[in-house]
A and B are shown apart, each in its own frame.
Chain A
């Protein structure tokens, strides 16, 4: 079953058009990677799908509902959660409050505070601390945990490896099988193409606001990929 089907999506920042006629679809349980150079429009795509950007055209169907005109808070209640670029934890709240805030919709499911702490043991004993005392990797775990607390059907993860050491990134990606095991579909935005291909079933490459390549991740050839990525 198709969980998300985006067709003909164009997004605007005032007069500037950032996305042109994008088509992306995500099957239930699938992990989809979105790759592309800086400024390609990856974050814009995620924000538009999540309802944060309203200046847009095209169709977005999520779980059989047309959500193109819905506000972000309404979409959240339907079971879509975004891990924003740069983590954006609530700085004036403890770790635990951040996680609890993620469960604001009250959607029931596998993920609870205890399950998040099982998934990321390194934040388990630090619930009462403030986000700024955590390392970058731990903050990213809180950001992912906060999104999971909504028990989403679709998890959007924007550059979760940004600014982190490779070992830490490995550690974070180790959590993905557990997330997928709950049937959650995932869209990851990732700078590192190899890693993106390794964790995903399907890959889309964006260049200057357009999809330049789409295909099964294991079948992507290096030449086609670098052509789609750099436009050379």
Chain B
């Protein structure tokens, strides 16, 4: 019983992180009808930035790095969208965005390989990584709990931004019908730049948090992209709460799988994904943007 409770809590904590991994991608897909294949590489790039920033600032808890790195990646997302991705967002050919972002992911991957090498790295969260809260016989890691708290915080903030603000309304209008939004005075490319900025700052947060619990190399982007992708497919395209739910499900699947089959890695994540797609192809929520 205790084992199950332990697995459940840790699975939810990991799942929250997976949710953040996916929600940035979900935001972009929902608003632009555009799949960013290089999303995973940005997650890894953020992790590298985190590792080097952390080395340069000894004694600073790496959790504090979340704020500047997220801000930096907002600018990166804004810039990449403005300079590169906007050229294909309106392309009539749906292959154009896939090819461009796929090519971009390869370029990023090889650049990171050139600059950082293939060493396996991780971000040490200091004493935090070993701290845990004991409740009876149950022991919950402090870092996973913080991760979950942050994930929920980001989901709530994003939800409020999209559903309650004028900016969020303009984003939803653009997602619904670009031309009609333009008739109201909305400049779609600007909405896209900001959306990509938000998406990549979420990716950066996910990248740093992932690097605190697992190792990574310049080639880890694909695994992150796959998980992010599975999260949003499970959640139902463009649904934020669906993405969080999808993250929880995959996190649980991974840890329960690992418990019975310690060599499985993230194999059971894919199994869970496959099962959902098989039995509920519209996703768990199966609704569009809020």
Contacts and interface: CB of A to CB of B under 8 A. Distances in A.
**B interface residue count range (under 10 / 10 to 19 / 20 to 34 / 35 or more):** 20 to 34
Interface string B176-198: 11011111111110000000000
Contacts of A146: 184
Given A84-B183, A104-B170, 12 more contacts: A71-B182, A76-B182, A76-B183, A81-B183, A82-B183, A92-B175, A92-B288, A93-B176, A101-B181, A101-B184, A104-B173, A105-B184
24 contacts: A52-B183, A71-B182, A71-B187, A72-B182, A73-B188, A76-B184, A76-B185, A77-B185, A82-B183, A84-B183, A90-B173, A90-B176, A92-B175, A93-B172, A93-B173, A93-B176, A100-B166, A100-B169, A101-B169, A101-B173, A104-B166, A104-B173, A104-B186, A150-B184
B100 interface: no
Nearest to B175: A92
Given A90-B172, A93-B172, A97-B169, A105 B185 contact: yes
Contact of A90 (B166, B177, B187, B290): B177
Contacts of B96: none
A110 B166 CA distance: 21
Nearest to A83: B183
B184 A93 contact: no
B65 interface: no
A164 interface: no
A91 interface: yes
B182 A90 contact: no
Interface of A: 50-52, 71-73, 76-77, 81-82, 84, 88, 90-93, 97, 100-102, 104-105, 146, 150
B180 A88 contact: yes
Contact of B184 (A51, A52, A92, A102): A102
Contacts of A93: 169, 172-173, 176
B82 interface: no
Which of B182, B184, B187, B290 has the most chain A CB atoms inside 10 A of its CB?
Answer: B184
B183 A92 contact: no
A50 B175 CA distance: 20
B56 to A, nearest CB: 43
Interface SS of chain B: helix, strand, loop or mixed? helix
B89 interface: no
A77 B187 CA distance: 11
A16 to B, nearest CB: 16
B150 interface: no
Interface string B146-181: 000000000000000000001001101101110111
Interface of B: 166, 169-170, 172-173, 175-177, 179-188, 288-290
A150 B182 CA distance: 12
Nearest to A72: B182
A92 B177 CA distance: 11
B161 to A, nearest CB: 15
A90 B188 CA distance: 15
Contacts of B176: 90-93
B193 to A, nearest CB: 14
Contacts of B179: 52, 72
A88 B177 contact: yes
Given A90-B176, A91-B176, A101-B170, A52 B182 contact: yes
Contacts of B288: 92
A72 B179 CA distance: 8
A87 B249 CA distance: 40
Nearest to B177: A88
B289 to A, nearest CB: 6
Given A52-B182, A71-B182, A84-B180, A92 B187 contact: no
A31 B181 CA distance: 25
A104 B172 contact: no
B184 A104 contact: yes
B166 to A, nearest CB: 8
B185 A150 contact: yes
B115 to A, nearest CB: 39
B181 to A, nearest CB: 8
B177 A73 contact: no
Contacts of B170: 101, 104
B182 A73 contact: yes
B116 to A, nearest CB: 41
